[in-house]
Chain A
Amino acid sequence: MNTATAMPKLRLTNVLKQFVAPRTGQLTTAVTDVNLDIETGEFVCVVGPSGCGKSTVMNLVAGLDTPTSGTIEADGKPVTAPGADRGVMFQDYALMPWMSVYDNIGFGLNYGTPGKGFTKEQRDERVRHFVDLVGLKGSEKKYPHQLSGGMRQRVALARLLANGPDILLMDEPLGALDAQTRLILQVELLRIWGETALQKERKTAIFITHDIEEAVFLADRVVVMSTHPGRVKAVIPVDLPRPRTEHTRALPRFGQLGEQIWNLIRDEAYRAIDDTGDKPVAAASVKQ
Chain B
Amino acid sequence: MTTATASVNGTAWSRVLQLTLVPLVLVVVWQLWGMFLASDERTPVPSRVITTFFDLVANGGLIGALLQSLTRVVVGFAISLVAGTTLGLLMGSYPALRDSLDPIIEAFRPLAPMAILPIVLLWFGTGTPAATAIVTYAAFFPLLVNTVHGVSRVDRKLVQAASTMGVPRPSVLMRVVLPAALPSILLGARLSMGIAWTAIIAAELGVGAKSGGGTSGGIGQMMFVFYSYSIDLNAIVVCMIVVGVVALLIDRLFRIAERRLMPWRQ
Residue ranges of A at the interface with B (Cβ–Cβ < 8 Å)? 62-64, 81-84, 86-88, 90, 92, 94, 96-98, 107-108, 111-114, 143-145, 159, 163
Closest chain B residue to A64 by CB distance? B160
Is there an interface contact between B266 and A145, defined as CB atoms closer than 8 Å? yes
Q: A108-B167, A111-B171, A163-B166 are in contact. Are A94 and B161 (CB under 8 A)?
A: yes
Give complex CA distance A87, B161 in Å: 9
Residue ranges of B at the interface with A (Cβ–Cβ < 8 Å)? 155, 157-158, 160-168, 171, 175-176, 179-180, 182, 262-264, 266
B165, B167, B176 — which one has the most chain A CB atoms within 10 A of its CB?
Answer: B165
Is there an interface contact between B179 and A92, defined as CB atoms closer than 8 Å? no
Q: A98-B182, A108-B166, A112-B166 are in contact. Are A90 and B161 (CB under 8 A)?
A: yes
B171, B180, B264, B266 — which one has the most chain A CB atoms within 10 A of its CB?
Answer: B264
18 inter-chain pairs at a CB distance below 8 angstroms, sorted by A residue, are A82-B160, A83-B164, A87-B164, A88-B160, A88-B164, A94-B157, A94-B158, A96-B176, A98-B179, A108-B165, A108-B166, A111-B166, A111-B167, A111-B171, A113-B166, A114-B166, A143-B264, A163-B165
How far does the Cβ of B62 sit from chain A's closest Cβ, in whole Å? 41
How far does the Cβ of B266 sit from chain A's closest Cβ, in whole Å? 7
Count A/B pairs, Cβ under 8 Å. 65
Q: Which residues of A lie under 8 Å from residue B162 when comparing CB positions?
A: 107-108
Give complex CA distance A238, B249 in Å: 67
Q: A90-B157, A92-B157 are in contact. Are A98 and B264 (CB under 8 A)?
A: yes
Is there an interface contact between B264 and A86, defined as CB atoms closer than 8 Å? no
Q: A108-B166, A143-B263 are in contact. Are A96 and B179 (CB under 8 A)?
A: yes
Give complex CA distance A108, B180 in Å: 17
How far does the Cβ of B230 sit from chain A's closest Cβ, in whole Å? 53
Give complex CA distance A108, B166 in Å: 7
How far does the Cβ of A205 sit from chain B's closest Cβ, in whole Å? 15
Q: Which residues of A lie under 8 Å from residue B266 when comparing CB positions?
A: 145
Q: Which residues of A lie under 8 Å from residue B182 when comparing CB positions?
A: 98
Closest chain A residue to B263 by CB distance? A143
Give complex CA distance A268, B211 in Å: 81
Contact of B166 among A83, A90, A98, A144 (CB under 8 A): A83
Give complex CA distance A94, B162 in Å: 9
Q: A83-B166, A111-B167 are in contact. Are A98 and B262 (CB under 8 A)?
A: yes
